[in-house]
Amino acid sequence: MQIAVAIAAAAAVAAAFCLFRLALAKREIRSFARQLRRYNDGEASGRVAIGLPDRDLEALAAEINRHTGLIVTANAERRRTEEELRQAVANISHDLRTPLTSIFGYIQMLDSQGLSEDERREAIAVIRKRTLRLQSLLNDFYELAMIDSPDYALKPTKLRLDKLLPEILMGFYDQMKDNGLEPSFALDEDRAEIWADESAVRRVVENLVVNALRHARGKLVVRLAVDRESAAFSLANEASHLRGTDPELLFNRFYMADVSRSGLSSGLGLSISRGLMTKMGGSLKAEMREDALWLICVWNRHA
């Protein structure tokens, strides 16, 4: 009889303890609900605090906090994307409006009376030049939009970079000299076979050289270094005005170091080049080394 009473008493104590733990758990759940409600109302940071030492509730709180953290990150990314889109629309509008305004102005001039034949030819030449500029802009915008698409297919083959690079660079040599550049070539003479698409490689190298022609003055260092796994092509020029700036911004398709965007290029060359390098399984990065800007392309030597 005493044993039965003891068992009953123990059961009652266990039941009371379970009810007590259940009450504490329900209180914690209500606390979670209050904290989440405050977060949803914008009155709290979103992190759930727990007052009861319970492994399961702690795991639940950790997952809630991780989830709200992901929401905060997603909202920040959404705001960043929306701001970038707004900036993109503004920049594209600016880029397209400039040649269009010029074309319209010269067309109005052609409609006016009293123009000499030389003035008409000059106006037509300007319209042709601005139309080519507009065509170049639209082609760049289209290519930039298409690079990430699976429909933008490349055809990688084995290429001799040690032969292709000098051919491309020599085509720009006179322009380099005319633009006040002093090119210094350090091209590794070892056989540099890479696995890449030839037209994409040409586009990347040409874009980097054109970027240097637009923005660099003085010494331009051009290098090709080869090892067993990769081949690295790099250009370096003095760019003290970029000191303190994150060089990665140069690959932002809507970043304008040249706010006027007055050049003949759309300013999207570096963004297109990085997209093509990524598409080929390579990389393109920018580094500031003291006052020099280095643009470095790396291709894999094997498929």
Q: Using one digit for the tens of pLDDT, what is the confidence trace for 136-147?
A: 778 877 777 787
Q: Is the residue at 85 inside a domain?
A: no
Task: Assess whether 55 and 179 both reside in one domain.
Answer: no
pLDDT digits (tens, 9 = 90+) for 250-302: 877 655 544 433 344 445 788 888 889 988 989 999 888 888 888 999 998 87
174-227 confidence digits (pLDDT tens):
888 888 888 888 887 777 888 888 989 999 999 898 888 888 888 888 888 888
Q: Phi, psi at residue 194, to the nearest 5°?
A: -125, 165
Final residue of a structural domain among 75, 108, 128: 75
Q: Give tens-digit pLDDT for 51-71.
A: 667 676 677 777 777 877 788
Considering 75, 107, 123, which residue would you say is the last residue of a domain?
Answer: 75
102 and 179 part of one domain: no
Q: Confirm whether 50 is domain-assigned.
A: yes
Say which CATH number the domain at 296 has. Answer: 3.30.565.10
In this prediction, residue 17 carries a pLDDT of 56
152 inside domain: no
Of 295, 301, 164, nearest in space to 236 by CA: 295
Domain-located, residue 246: yes
Beta bridge partner(s), residue 281: none
* Residue 80 is assigned to a structural domain of this protein: no
Q: Is residue 151, in this structure, part of any structural domain at all?
A: no
The count of structural domains within the chain is 3
Tens of pLDDT, residue by residue over 7-44, are 666 666 666 656 656 666 677 777 767 767 666 666 66
- 162/140 same-domain check: no
**Does one domain contain both 43 and 67?**
yes
Instruction: For residue 140, give the nearest of 92, 198, 101, 179 by alpha carbon.
Output: 92
Cα–Cα dist 78/8, whole Å: 61
291 in any annotated domain: yes
Looking at the structure, tell me whether residues 62 and 190 fall in a common domain.
no
Q: DSSP for 60-123, please give it.
A: HHHHHHHHHHHHHHHHHHHHHHHHHHHHHHHHHHHHHHHHHHHHHHHHHHHHSS---HHHHHHH
Its pTM stands at: 0.61
Q: Largest Cα–Cα distance of the chain, in whole Å?
A: 127
**Sequence-distant (≥ 6) Cβ neighbours of residue 270 within 8 angstroms:** 207, 208, 211, 250, 251, 284, 295
Same domain, 169 and 288: yes
Whether residue 138 is found in the same domain as residue 251: no
Show the domain range for 31: 2-75
Instruction: Identify the CATH number of the domain in which residue 114 sits.
Output: 1.10.287.130
Pick from 15, 50, 75: which residue ends a domain?
A: 75
| CA 86, 87, 92, 94 torsion-angle sign | positive
For residue 105, what pLDDT is reported?
A: 87
* pLDDT computed for residue 185 by the predictor: 84
